[in-house]
């Protein structure tokens, strides 16, 4: 271990100008609980700490793993707070020492200004920010926009990882160089897990690789998906990702597992930053929150974990009433209340003793006591109980959570509910597992009294979800109207058919025709109605990108866009600094940082191991342009993975 530390110290001195320095963070959830008088500013306070750390360590750029905002349509106050912080810490005269080599019109194809912000002559960016979108701030609506698009258009962030198709996804990397080190950053914004799982299984995911010096690039991928299995297809196995990657930054999961974990099946490391603010009262959220400083030199990287000191303290514990020895008789309710109060008092005392002492860290902790009242106990009023802790804890209304531990039960006919084993599962998991559209679809399909002759069960389920989640009040009416009109046209065309033939035609039509196009037209109809009523609000033009059809951009498409000369020339050796004649990239890294264990991470050679259910085929390398264009610096790596027969 000591030899490792000495080696790292030597590397820092020798490789400073060739080392990327990157701050890694994820799931900032700006605006979470913003109307709560106690917790309303927590997300923004910690977000500012993240950028203070970036400034202190003089990183080359900040890389975010999605869910920058908690809401799909954040409030003006949240947007204002975010913009203030970005302007305060990202703008400045310090030149960025990273050369950007790839075609920017491809990497930022969805933007009206497809140029990286620190090379825009209208801006002085000292600390660039790169981010993908998450499931909370995903692009949606008729123009497929998100709050991150607003930040991108204003030149404050570089938004990448946006997809133009729901049937096939092509991922083009951000190619950067600092001194002798070359970095390829792949990004994929949040896609509904079931859909993405299907695309991986059907080999519809394409990843582009640089053509020159293919083996000399350090490959990072940023994703925002379920990593923990919540159902057969409600997560993305690590084995799905291409094995040429060196490091995967995994967003969406809130537990901080920031020390890179080696996956021997895929031959890459996985770094899970976790969230910067607790959005649910679960055990994973109670663990210490971190960001990381990632240092990359050639094919070697190191990670320094940095704990966040402005996060509100959170303590969680469990109590089984049967183990207290107190009778379950109603006459002993006050004795149970006193016992629970004593337990919570000890948790508050622990929070006070372990407070960091920072004036910016909140003093009122989050406290959650899970009480198992199995065995005939009767839960008391937790809301009234919590009032005695007002002013001492941040969540007096839900400080106690009662549950009954149940035996494992098997649930069939619904793959997304297979992970529900007992009643004390966190609410966040239940929300991701049990979806309203699945309940509606199951009800309409299985209950004969609710079965519909002409309308698609899935379409109705999707409309109900958009009605609930996005407050699109006219969506169900418009979908029914549009669907019935299409069915009427079908019946008119088949007037000479028998009743049996008509039934068959209707059933086929329901299963094959109704889909995303109907949903898109229904959304448009609902928005037109709002305009006519005079209550149209642009902020309500946000539907769920998991189900909406995304219209491909006519200005730039990452799957068929050509490579400009500017990109090709730079890849052959020419360097580029800032367009305003800033200092060209010579490298100003501060050397590689040391992990908590002082280890240097190096990607291990590929082995012959494979998943028990998945296997990796060899990557197919295809020229992106005509074969006679030998100067083109890019290749396509189409990684194919399929289940074993």
Active-site choice (136, 224, 290, 482) = 136
* Nearest alpha carbon to residue 61 among 84, 33, 94: 94
Asked if 22 and 294 count as a contact pair (C-beta separation under 8 A), the reply is yes
Asked if 239 and 644 count as a contact pair (C-beta separation under 8 A), the reply is no
- 357 vs 290: CA distance, rounded Å: 18
* Nearest alpha carbon to residue 349 among 373, 317, 320, 321: 317
Asked if 618 and 325 count as a contact pair (C-beta separation under 8 A), the reply is no
* Nearest alpha carbon to residue 227 among 247, 204, 246, 255: 255
In the three-class reduction of DSSP (H, G, I as helix; E, B as strand; rest coil), residue 635 is classed as strand
Burial of 493 (0-12, 13-18, 19+ CB in 10 A): exposed
- 502 vs 153: CA distance, rounded Å: 52
Tokens matching residue 258: 């920031």
Tokens matching residue 347: 């948790």
C-alpha Rg value of the chain to the nearest Å: 27
Annotated active-site residue 136? The verdict is: yes
* Nearest alpha carbon to residue 151 among 96, 228, 214, 69: 69
Give the DSSP H/E element, type plus range, for residue 569. helix 565-571
- 91 vs 5: CA distance, rounded Å: 35
- 609 vs 534: CA distance, rounded Å: 61
- Per residue in 11-41, is it b (16+ CB within 10 Å) or e — as a string? bbeebbbbbbbbbbbbbbbbbbbbeeebbeb
Burial of 359 (0-12, 13-18, 19+ CB in 10 A): exposed
* Nearest alpha carbon to residue 432 among 251, 120, 194: 194
Give the catalytic positions in this structure: 136
């Amino acid at each position: 271990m000591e030899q490792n530390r000495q080696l790292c110290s030597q590397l820092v001195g020798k490789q400073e100008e060739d080392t990327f320095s990157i701050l890694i963070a994820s799931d900032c959830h700006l605006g979470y609980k913003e109307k709560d008088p106690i917790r309303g500013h927590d997300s923004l306070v910690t977000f500012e700490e993240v950028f203070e750390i970036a400034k202190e360590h003089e990183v080359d750029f900040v890389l975010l793993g999605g869910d920058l905002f908690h809401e799909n349509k954040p409030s003006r106050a949240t947007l204002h707070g975010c913009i203030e912080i970005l302007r305060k810490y990202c703008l400045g005269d310090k030149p960025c020492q990273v050369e950007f080599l790839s075609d920017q019109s491809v990497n930022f194809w969805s933007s009206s200004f497809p140029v990286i912000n620190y090379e825009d002559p209208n801006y002085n960016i000292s600390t660039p920010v790169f981010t993908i979108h998450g499931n909370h701030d995903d692009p949606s609506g008729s123009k497929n926009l998100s709050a991150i698009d607003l930040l991108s258009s204003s030149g404050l962030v570089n938004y990448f990882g946006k997809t133009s198709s729901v049937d096939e996804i092509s991922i083009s990397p951000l190619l950067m160089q600092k001194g002798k080190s070359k970095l390829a950053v792949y990004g994929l914004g949040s896609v509904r897990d079931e859909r993405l799982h299907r695309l991986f299984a059907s080999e519809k995911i394409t990843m582009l690789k640089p053509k020159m010096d293919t083996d000399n690039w350090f490959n990072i991928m940023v994703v925002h998906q379920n990593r923990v299995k919540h159902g057969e297809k409600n997560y993305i196995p690590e084995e799905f990702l291409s094995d040429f990657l060196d490091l995967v930054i995994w967003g969406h999961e809130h537990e901080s597992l920031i020390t890179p974990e080696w996956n021997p099946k895929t031959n890459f490391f996985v770094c899970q930053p976790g969230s910067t603010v607790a959005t649910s009262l679960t055990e994973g959220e109670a663990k210490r929150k971190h960001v990381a400083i990632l240092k990359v030199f050639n094919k070697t990287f190191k990670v320094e974990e940095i704990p966040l000191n402005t996060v509100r303290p959170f303590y969680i514990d469990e109590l089984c009433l049967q183990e207290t020895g107190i009778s379950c008789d109603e006459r002993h309710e006050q004795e149970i209340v006193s016992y629970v109060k004593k337990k919570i008092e000890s948790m508050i005392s622990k929070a006070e003793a372990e407070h960091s002492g920072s004036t910016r860290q909140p003093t009122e902790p989050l406290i959650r006591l899970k009480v198992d009242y199995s065995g005939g106990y009767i839960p008391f009023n937790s809301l009234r109980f919590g009032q005695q802790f007002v002013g001492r804890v941040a969540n007096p209304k839900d400080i106690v959570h009662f549950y009954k531990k149940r035996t494992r039960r098997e649930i069939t006919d619904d793959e997304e509910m297979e992970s529900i084993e007992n009643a004390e599962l966190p609410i966040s998991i239940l929300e991701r597992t049990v979806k309203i559209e699945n309940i509606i679809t199951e009800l309409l399909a299985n209950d004969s009294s609710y079965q519909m002759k002409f309308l698609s069960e899935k379409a109705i389920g999707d409309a109900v979800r958009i009605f609930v989640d996005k407050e699109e009040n006219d969506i169900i009416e418009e979908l029914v109207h549009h669907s019935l009109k299409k069915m009427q046209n079908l019946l008119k065309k088949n007037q000479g058919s028998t009743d049996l033939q008509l039934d068959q035609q209707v059933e086929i039509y329901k299963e094959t025709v109704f889909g995303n196009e109907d949903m898109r037209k229904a959304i448009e109809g609902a928005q037109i109605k709002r305009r006519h009523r005079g209550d149209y609000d642009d902020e309500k033009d946000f539907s769920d990108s998991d189900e909406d059809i995304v219209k491909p951009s006519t200005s730039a498409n990452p799957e068929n866009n050509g490579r400009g000369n500017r990109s090709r020339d730079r890849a052959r050796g020419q360097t580029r600094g800032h367009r305003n004649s800033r200092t060209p990239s010579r490298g100003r890294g501060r050397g590689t940082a040391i992990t908590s264990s002082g280890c240097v991470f190096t990607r291990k050679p590929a082995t012959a191991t494979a998943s028990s259910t998945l296997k990796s085929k060899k990557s197919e390398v295809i020229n992106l342009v005509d074969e006679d264009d030998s100067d083109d610096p890019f290749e396509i790596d189409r990684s194919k993975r399929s289940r074993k027969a």
